[in-house]
Structure 1
Amino acid sequence: MGVSERYRDAWEGYWSATSDTPGEAIWDADPSLSSVPHTELLLPYADTALPVVDLGCGNGTQTRYLATRFGRAIGVDLSHAAIAHARRADTEGVVEFAQLDLGDSEAVTALHERIGDTNVYMRAVIHQSEAEVRPAVAAAVATLLGERGRAFVAELTPDSKAVLQQVAQGPDGPPEKLRRVLEHGLKPASVSAEEVPRLLRAAGLTTLAQGDTALAQTAYLPDGTRVDLPARWFVLATTPAVG
């Protein structure tokens, strides 16, 4: 079915208004705070000879790190402007980037047919997706994994909404980085605690490991404390792990 035109335009508008400066996007954390620890959770289950696809790669910060741990790294994002950012930042050409609507099952299947079974990294995509498209996003993970791939998925929990509300109610209103997200109509932390596991199960995904975490942001509270958003992580396969 694909995403709505409104949702697509919101992301194009956001990334078009964002500079190439690292960290300008509120979620553009340094890999040491994001894909580095996440990869350590995934690697015990994953075959690094398979490619890895970063779903919702944005400007590619995490994808470039993933390219150091897997033989091939591919970053996909709904936004053409985001992919343009990612390609400019990838000065050494270590990643393949492409525009992809995760709600378009035919396009996702075509990617799987092109690259075969692959590992997946997906950080905070389901929670801000349109409700009617969330099942397709979870299904996209399963399609790309095939039989041999493994996925790391991290999603904000409802507790993140309270943190964001606290951040937005500072003496000067929301910090600029959060204000731009809200001004473009993007709605973070809009899923229930039960919805993400239910979507993953419905997509035919088996949870191999899971736990609580926090996703580091690039915004800070007035007292200098970094904004960290409560989240839950899952390592997933389409079939139960053997052995």
Structure 2
Amino acid sequence: MTAVEDIHGGSGTRWEGYWQQAPEEPGRVFWDAAPEVTVERHRPLFAPHFTDDLPLLDLGCGTGRQTVVLAGHHTPVLGLDISPAAVALARRRTGAAGVDFRAADVTDPDVAARLHAELGDSHVYVRGVLHQCAPPERARFAEAVAVLVGTRGRAFVCEPAAAAKESLRGLMGRPGGPPPTLAAVFEHGIAPTEMPDEEVPAAFAGAGLAVLASGREPLVTTEPGPDGAAVRLPAQWLVVGRNG
């Protein structure tokens, strides 16, 4: 049994395999779009709710491309990913002050508790992570977010809407086969799970967090569509936190 299997289980093993083979060049990972069409579009949505005096955690940080941009607005920023290979890639590709990366499975309650004990209440940024969790893991992920934000922090969550399934089906059914960026995801046994839109706020409500703001904002991918523009997946966003 590998260390990743021991600590993270099967999903961690699949993600580790994916990130070990992922290209290092920006734009070669399906969801790793440029920050100006991802985190910078999200900032006006969460900025009114994120104070400047708390750390910020980027859960599922991947290459760290978005984490570094977050570090330009918040200090300190910690990027967390279940895959040590992803964290190693993030460290190689970045070197910004005020940002660090760490391999951790926050769905482990002990991990979330230790992070909160170390950092205190924190803000959390999540982009496209919950829908990758198996149904039993979703509640644990939401509970981890609740632990991390504590009483003062807020979490911004952006997840593909149920309607994104049609966009992904169109990409997988292209005459020449699915694009390599998407094929690589499925080749490693990583497949987005179907999740009704209402399950996203319900997961966080079950963890004791209230929806403080919400709306629709597409998730931009790195894959060009027929018109040459990047494919945009229908998505919803939430800001969640404790009331009061």
Q: Which of structure 1's runs of 4+ aligned residues deviate more than 6 A? A: none
Deviation at residue 56 of structure 1 after TM alignment: 0.5
Secondary structure (helix, strand or coil) at the match of 2:92 reads helix
- Equivalent residue for 1:108? 112
Conserved 8 A contact 1:3-1:103: no
1:194 aligns with 2:198: yes
1:12 aligns with 2:16: yes
Within a 5 Å distance, the mapping from 1:25-40 to structure 2 comes to 25-40=29-44
Equivalent-residue separation in structure 2 for 1:114 and 1:122 (angstroms): 20
Deviation at residue 4 of structure 1 after TM alignment: 6.0
Q: Which residue of 204, 210, 223 corresponds with 1:206? A: 210
> In the superposition, relative to structure 1, how do residues 4 and 52 fare at CA in structure 2: closer, same or farther (>3 Å)?
closer
- Equivalent residue for 1:183? 187
Deviation at residue 225 of structure 1 after TM alignment: 3.1
CA deviation vs aligned residue, 1:116-158 (integer Å, no higher than 9, x gap): 1110000011101121111010111111111111110011111
Equivalent-residue separation in structure 2 for 1:239 and 1:161 (angstroms): 33
- Equivalent residue for 2:132? 128
Equivalent-residue separation in structure 2 for 1:116 and 1:143 (angstroms): 10
Secondary structure (helix, strand or coil) at the match of 1:117 reads coil
Conserved 8 A contact 1:128-1:190: no
Q: What is the root-mean-square deviation of aligned Cα atoms in Å?
A: 1.4
Equivalent-residue separation in structure 1 for 2:18 and 2:111 (angstroms): 23
Conserved 8 A contact 1:158-1:189: no
Gaps of at least 5 residues in structure 2 are 1-5
- Equivalent residue for 2:72? 68
Secondary structure (helix, strand or coil) at the match of 2:170 reads helix
Equivalent-residue separation in structure 2 for 1:126 and 1:23 (angstroms): 22
1:41 aligns with 2:41: no
- Equivalent residue for 2:3? none
TM-score by length of 1: 0.94
Equivalent-residue separation in structure 1 for 2:131 and 2:54 (angstroms): 27
> In the superposition, relative to structure 1, how do residues 4 and 117 fare at CA in structure 2: closer, same or farther (>3 Å)?
closer
Conserved 8 A contact 1:214-1:228: yes
1:142 aligns with 2:124: no
Conserved 8 A contact 1:51-1:70: yes
Amino acid at match of 1:108: A
CA deviation vs aligned residue, 1:33-69 (integer Å, no higher than 9, x gap): 1111212111111111211000010110110000011
Equivalent-residue separation in structure 2 for 1:34 and 1:4 (angstroms): 27
TM-score by length of 2: 0.94
Amino acid at match of 1:200: F
Deviation at residue 189 of structure 1 after TM alignment: 4.9
Q: Which residue of 211, 230, 238 corresponds with 1:226? A: 230
Deviation at residue 181 of structure 1 after TM alignment: 0.6
Conserved 8 A contact 1:160-1:189: no
- Equivalent residue for 1:53? 57
> In the superposition, relative to structure 1, how do residues 71 and 107 fare at CA in structure 2: closer, same or farther (>3 Å)?
same
Equivalent-residue separation in structure 1 for 2:28 and 2:7 (angstroms): 25
Q: Which residue of 234, 237, 243 corresponds with 2:241? A: 237
Conserved 8 A contact 1:52-1:119: yes
Secondary structure (helix, strand or coil) at the match of 2:228 reads coil
Equivalent-residue separation in structure 2 for 1:34 and 1:154 (angstroms): 10
